[in-house]
Amino acid sequence: MRLIYVLLSPTFGMHQYTADLANRIAETGSQKPAAGSSAPAGEPGERPGGGVDAALVTTTTLPRDRYSPAVHIETPITSHGTGFAGEGLDVRGYRRVSATIGYQLSAMSHAPTPKSVLPAIVHFTGVHLWNVPLVYALRRHGIP
């Protein structure tokens, strides 16, 4: 399963929070289940041979040193605010973010069997004007 965090604000405190979440998921997700583990295959958030993949869609102004190398980071925009100023009206930027999230979701569809892929979850961790239309677009595609 892939868990995608979306943080379009460059706010350092929000990156601290998001990095903590993403790093924990990425580090536990990269560990293989122990031999003789009592957790059955197919548990929510578990995939054969591994766990949960963590990805981050954010701005180029992120504090990259806060994130584990196990977190896949995409930076489709440069943002200097929370998106409630003029930056929030950049339609091309919104489309790049939307396409990046869509790319992350479609990367899951190349699994060998349908049972090995669980639906992605997109988790928004900071305020931005684009969060609302992105949530509606994800809802139309059945992505929680």
Q: Using the 8-state DSSP alphabet, how is residue 50 labeled? A: B
- The upper half-sphere exposure of residue 74, i.e. CA atoms within 13 Å in the direction of its Cβ, equals 18
pLDDT in tens, the chain (144 residues): 789 999 998 899 999 999 999 999 988 865 555 544 444 444 444 444 456 889 999 999 999 999 999 999 999 999 888 788 888 889 999 999 999 998 777 665 554 444 444 568 999 999 899 999 999 989 888 888
pTM score of the predicted model: 0.79
Phi-psi region of 64 (alpha: psi -120 to 50; beta: other; left: phi over 0): alpha
Query: Cβ(8)–Cβ(135) under 8 Å?
Result: no
Helix/strand/coil percentages in the chain, nearest 5: 40, 15, 40
